[in-house]
Structure 1
């Protein structure tokens, strides 16, 4: 592996010193992961700059290495480097730490389920090529939670229109729908299509995040790729009720797979 220049960026600084400190103590990546309650693959991803740590991860690293505010202060700089809209990095952190995700999407397929080409097509409007690739990388980076050792349970409600909205063209949509079918086979992912005749108008996409012993939080999406992390108990409870109302109108998981296959055949 090429030597990392810690002066290149906050993530490079983190990667360089994390590996240095880990090697000094003779800890493997899985061993360090056990100490801070994450997978060894996440430690590897941080050291190769392929995964973005959460603030919780950085605080845990400071604690395990006996350091005072060494890694944690890097967090704001790391967020700046992502180029993401305000509010989104905090959502990504909450998403990564949740035990259950409940999401409703009314315009695009859920970001955790997107193929690289589909994500590129969704994010392309008005973006410079360099910034676009950075956004696509960050979106794909989030998908690491789908395959970690203890993945969250995900209940995804998708409006039927997302199956026919042709982001990227026919071949991109074909690959995206095939990918969606593969994800639907995973035991922790439950995809439900909301038929167009459901007569619901939630007016926007949102995600509810739950973890044992922690209050639920929600992320409400807005125009321009922005959003807001919500921790107001009353509002989060309202969104929870809305989610269940939408789910009551959605197809079963089995019928949803049939609907996805039908959309794929009609491309």
Structure 2
């Protein structure tokens, strides 16, 4: 899951707040609010970094203070960095590592992992988690990540998926039909292997949530997991070893690749 940070945690928003406070120094919040046509409460929230300013507010500040576009430039920076600010701590580092890995092993319990998602499926997830005006940025970034699977020397992807993720009607039947067809197409690539853990499998450690393992040619393996909206890159040998054991235990419950494909096809036919 992706968790949004509070506005005041975003550097560009803090910069906007500081500049507004500095330019307003000769008048009260009430006076500025009257001259700009806003409420004193809004001025206070923006200066406190607790409210994201609108473009119109930025333009009004530039016009009133005659700043030659300072506030609009800061507003633009806020918009450009909001996607990064909304990512779980640790995820940006993970994406960089993912792009350099020679082997990627993933386990998905309820939501399919990002490298497997169609644009429509990704959009359905993100619309439930992010402000509508940032969703396109998130979707585009997720689609760009998938380019590693088709580059000249792509990583080997072992994607283990719980049957629950295949049957979850995320975005509706049409979205799921497209997503399941996409999985079948991905599985035809020589560097992609997809297997499924049946929903009626005995209780296993995979019920604890998703995980990713990355392997490199000349570097130690790393693991990545998310919990309560916070991403964690695990690099210490003991921690990575624990995740490797956990992944192997999960895959012990998975159907062989050929049978997994038949299950995906069967679920697709039932939609």
CA contact (8 A) 1:79 1:89 kept: no
Label 1:113 to 1:126 Cα distance change in 2 as closer, same or farther (>3 A).
Answer: closer
CA contact (8 A) 1:159 1:194 kept: yes
Aligned to 1:119: 122
Dislocated runs of 4+, deviation >3 Å: 78-83
CA contact (8 A) 2:121 2:171 kept: yes
CA contact (8 A) 1:120 1:132 kept: yes
Q: Residues of 2 paired with 1:260 and 1:227: CA distance?
A: 29
Aligned to 2:239: 235
CA contact (8 A) 1:82 1:134 kept: no
Q: Does 1:173 align with 2:170?
A: no
1:151 is matched with which residue: 151, 154, 158?
154
CA contact (8 A) 1:118 1:168 kept: yes
Structure of larger gyration radius? 2
1:219 is matched with which residue: 218, 221, 224?
224
The Cα shift of 1:113 comes to 1.0
**5+ residue gaps, structure 1:** 1-77
Instruction: Give the structure-2-normalised TM-score.
Output: 0.67
The structure whose RCO (Cα within 8 Å, separation 6+) is larger is: 2
1:204 is matched with which residue: 209, 217, 235?
209
Q: Residues of 1 paired with 2:113 and 2:129: CA distance?
A: 21
Aligned to 1:265: 269
The Cα shift of 1:263 comes to 0.6
Q: Does 1:128 align with 2:153?
A: no
CA contact (8 A) 2:101 2:216 kept: yes
SS at match of 2:168: coil
SS at match of 2:249: helix
CA contact (8 A) 1:82 1:135 kept: no
